[in-house]
């Protein structure tokens, strides 16, 4: 007789009940920390059981968002060094500069055209009336509701820094230079390539702007081809390991290159964006502490050699030609102590945009640069706008108070104004970012909080602000960026396609500001026109009478009150 099989269903039920009891017991264990890592409560019955800690707001992380020591800077010493460098700078003198055609003649460096408002400016504004009347960008702009505006916080009389920038864009007689200082978000000319292209489409200009002499990331950049050999590049983020004298030579670009005998770099223009395949002016920037000879090859053909005495000052070689498609620099003699910064490619007018991105930088690296170097290079090619794009690397999911970082942003603004006094400063709020949570990919709300603190810093310093986070939200947020192939799967970094989207949004903000400035100028000109408040008397002669001009009494002369505009100050931008 066959043995009857045993029934194990009761054991299975008991095992399941025991497992459930264990999991419920685990659920009541409070959140703990292990090895500095915060472990969440394991609650498999989250839909049925709620704990106070589940709904309570997360506490701020115990550690500060930044290491304040990294942001230390003596701003009074910065101002002293900049003032000294500005007094001694000779941007077109024989001691610092040579041109493709020979030594520069002494001439005034680029200066700001002063702007006057009120009755005294009537003639100058009227003279520009025709040009202003032709400036109309409304056809290029979407509806205001679709634009993330550039906000400007400015107190006091006279034109604001952004109004000065808009005026230079309209003037068009010399290059308007933009320094875009940022982190890995714009590395490789992401975003800045498209911003440059759009601004040059609208206001003219050409060339890729500043390019380092050597760096490990040159191959990543699509907008210029850089071929270098014989250099040792140093990055400012590793400044503690950089040997003297190069550690004290950094420009805000964040890269220096130490030469060996025969070191050379060739830059070839590309057609990856409009206006980049050629330019009309190139500028080589370096320090030659020992007597040196530098050869320059233009467009792969003509070669000229320039000699320099040893000195600590920044030198430049400027090439102006109708067409520049490639440029090569080679150190023939004097490589010892030779610090190369790079080359600058632009036009004689229009817009130039420099991508000055430094990976892992939250803005503190600018405080490690040389104020003297910054001031000397600024005397040769002054910046008109400095954009600060930082903060991506300090965001934490549970942090909402970034007041400590906001204090450092205020110092950045003051540092930039010391080194580049002609420039308006525009703070970009941190970009949108997402993270993986229990419910899938969700926005990181701390991005909004950090943006708020960055805006407060701009307001405290009277600078301008643009809400990158808000602009990306208008485009669907980081989740849409990833879904559409505009950003990486880290839900943090945009790619070139995403950069084009953000660049266009920023371009619209700047163009809207320019259009409003034009509208305000037109209104100001109209207010300054003489107005005859009362109609002329009827002077028609009676029938049969003759009229002689000498019989008419001249009208009373207009007084200042008759032509004074309603507001002698510049009309504020909305």
- With a CB cutoff of 8 Å and minimum separation 6, the contacts of 105 are 92
Contact 452, 427 (CB under 8 A): no
Neighbours of 297 (CB within 10 A): 16
pLDDT for the residue numbered 88: 87
Superfamily of domain 63-89+140-205+349-528: SGNH hydrolase (3.40.50.1110)
Residue 135 CA to residue 519 CA, distance in Å, equals: 9
Structure-token match 């008397």, residue found:
537
Cis amide prior to 245 (ω within 30 degrees)? yes
Rounded distance between C-alpha atoms, residue 49 and residue 94, angstroms: 80
| Beta bridge partners of residue 98, listed in sequence order | 103, 317
User: What 3-state DSSP class applies to 173?
Assistant: coil
Q: What pLDDT shows up at residue 199?
A: 98
On the 0-12 / 13-18 / 19+ scale of CB atoms within 10 A, 553 is: exposed
d(CA 275, CA 536): 57
Cα separation, 403 vs 454, whole angstroms:
9
Give the Cα separation of 91 and 109 in Å (integer): 7
As a whole number of angstroms, the distance between CA 165 and CA 154 comes to: 14
Q: How far apart are the first and last CA of the chain?
A: 98
Structure tokens at 172: 């068009």
Q: How far is CA 261 from CA 194, 264, 297, 526, in A?
A: 37, 9, 17, 64
Predicted pLDDT of residue 476? 95
Asked whether the beta carbons of 194 and 499 are under 8 A apart, the reply is: yes
Q: Which residues of 16-38 are buried (b: 16+ CB within 10 A; e: fewer)?
A: eeeeeeeeeeeeeeeeeeeeeee
Residue 245 is classified by DSSP as T
The structure tokens listed for 143 are 């509806």
DSSP-derived pairing of the beta strands 326-333 and 292-298: antiparallel
- The answer to whether the beta carbons of residues 194 and 274 sit under 8 Å apart is no
Helix axis angle for 75-88 and 371-380, nearest 10°, is 40
| DSSP-derived 3-state class of residue 144 | helix
Q: How far is CA 221 from the centre of its chain?
A: 18
C-alpha–C-alpha distance, residues 289 and 338, integer Å = 6
Q: Where in the chain is the domain with CATH 3.40.50.1110?
A: 63-89+140-205+349-528
Tokens of 289: 């502490």
User: Distance between CA atoms of 268 and 225, rounded to whole angstroms?
Assistant: 5
User: What's the confidence (pLDDT) of residue 120?
Assistant: 40
User: Is residue 163 helix, strand or coil?
Assistant: helix
DSSP string, 485-510: TSB-TTSS-B-HHHHHHHHHHHHHHH
> CATH code for 207-348?
2.60.120.1360
Question: What pLDDT, on the 0 to 100 scale, is given for residue 522?
Answer: 84
* pLDDT values of the chain reduced to their tens digit, one per residue, 574 residues: 455 555 555 565 566 666 655 555 555 555 444 443 344 444 544 444 444 444 444 567 767 788 999 999 999 999 999 999 988 888 877 788 999 987 665 433 443 333 444 334 445 555 566 667 678 999 999 999 999 999 999 877 888 999 999 999 998 888 999 999 999 999 999 999 999 999 999 999 999 999 999 999 888 899 999 999 999 999 999 999 999 999 999 999 999 999 999 999 999 999 999 999 999 999 999 999 999 999 999 999 999 999 999 999 999 999 999 999 999 999 999 999 899 999 999 999 999 999 999 999 999 999 999 999 999 999 999 999 999 999 998 998 889 999 999 999 999 999 999 999 999 999 999 999 998 888 888 889 999 999 999 999 999 999 999 999 999 999 999 999 999 999 999 999 999 999 999 999 999 999 999 999 999 888 887 777 776 666 656 555 555 444 443 443 444 444 444 433 333 334 344 3
Q: Is 396 exposed, middle or buried (0-12, 13-18, 19+ CB in 10 A)?
A: middle
Question: Within the chain, which residue ranges are assigned CATH 2.60.120.1360?
Answer: 207-348
């Amino acid at each position: 007789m066959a043995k009857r099989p045993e029934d194990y269903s009761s054991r299975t039920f008991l095992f399941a009940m025991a497992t459930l009891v264990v999991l419920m017991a685990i659920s009541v264990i409070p959140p703990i920390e292990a090895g500095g890592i915060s472990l969440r409560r394991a609650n498999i019955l989250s839909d049925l059981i709620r704990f106070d800690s589940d709904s309570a707001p997360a506490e701020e992380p115990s550690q500060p968002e930044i290491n304040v020591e990294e942001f230390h800077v003596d701003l009074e010493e910065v101002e002293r060094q900049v003032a000294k460098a500005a007094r001694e700078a000779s941007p077109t003198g024989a001691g610092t500069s040579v041109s493709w055609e020979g030594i520069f003649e002494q001439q005034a460096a680029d200066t700001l055209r002063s702007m006057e408002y009120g009755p005294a400016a009537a003639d100058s504004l009227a003279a520009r009336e025709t040009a202003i009347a032709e400036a109309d960008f409304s056809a290029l702009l979407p509806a205001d509701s679709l634009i993330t505006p550039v906000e400007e916080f400015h107190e006091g009389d006279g034109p604001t820094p952004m109004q000065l920038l808009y005026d230079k864009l309209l003037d068009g007689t010399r290059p308007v230079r933009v320094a875009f200082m940022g982190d890995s978000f714009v590395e490789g000319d992401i975003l800045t390539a498209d911003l440059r292209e759009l601004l040059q489409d609208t206001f003219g200009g050409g060339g890729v702007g500043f390019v380092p002499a050597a760096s490990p990331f040159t191959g990543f950049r699509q907008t210029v081809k850089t071929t270098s050999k014989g250099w040792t590049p140093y990055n400012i983020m590793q400044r503690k390991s950089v040997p003297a004298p190069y550690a004290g030579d950094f420009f805000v670009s964040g890269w220096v290159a130490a030469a060996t005998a025969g070191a050379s770099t060739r830059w070839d223009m590309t057609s990856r964006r409009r206006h980049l395949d050629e330019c009309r002016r190139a500028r080589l920037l370096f320090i030659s502490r020992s007597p040196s000879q530098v050869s320059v090859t233009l467009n792969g053909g003509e070669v000229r050699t320039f000699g320099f005495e040893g000195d600590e000052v920044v030198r430049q070689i400027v090439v102006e030609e109708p067409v520049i498609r490639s440029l090569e620099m080679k150190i023939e003699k004097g490589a010892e102590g030779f610090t190369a910064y790079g080359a600058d490619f632009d036009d004689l007018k229009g817009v130039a945009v420099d991508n000055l991105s430094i990976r892992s930088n939250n803005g503190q690296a600018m405080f490690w640069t040389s104020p003297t170097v910054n001031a000397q290079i600024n005397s040769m090619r002054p910046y008109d706008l400095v954009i600060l794009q930082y903060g991506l690397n300090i965001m934490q999911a549970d942090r909402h108070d970034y007041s400590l970082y906001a204090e450092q942003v205020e110092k950045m603004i003051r540092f930039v104004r010391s080194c580049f006094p002609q420039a308006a400063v525009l703070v970009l709020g941190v970009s949108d970012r997402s993270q993986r949570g229990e419910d899938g990919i969700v926005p990181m709300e701390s991005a909004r909080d950090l943006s708020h603190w960055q805006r407060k810093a701009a307001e405290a310093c009277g600078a301008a602000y643009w809400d990158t986070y808000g602009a990306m939200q208008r485009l669907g947020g980081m989740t849409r960026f990833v879904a559409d192939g505009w950003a990486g799967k880290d839900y943090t970094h945009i790619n070139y396609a995403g950069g084009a989207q953000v660049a266009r949004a920023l371009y619209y903000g700047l163009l809207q500001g320019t259009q409003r400035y034009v509208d305000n100028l037109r209104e100001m000109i109209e207010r300054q026109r003489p107005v005859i408040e009362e109609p002329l008397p009827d002077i028609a002669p009676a029938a049969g009478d003759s009229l002689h001009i000498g019989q008419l009494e001249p009208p009373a002369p207009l007084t200042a009150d008759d032509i004074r505009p309603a507001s002698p100050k510049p009309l504020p931008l909305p």
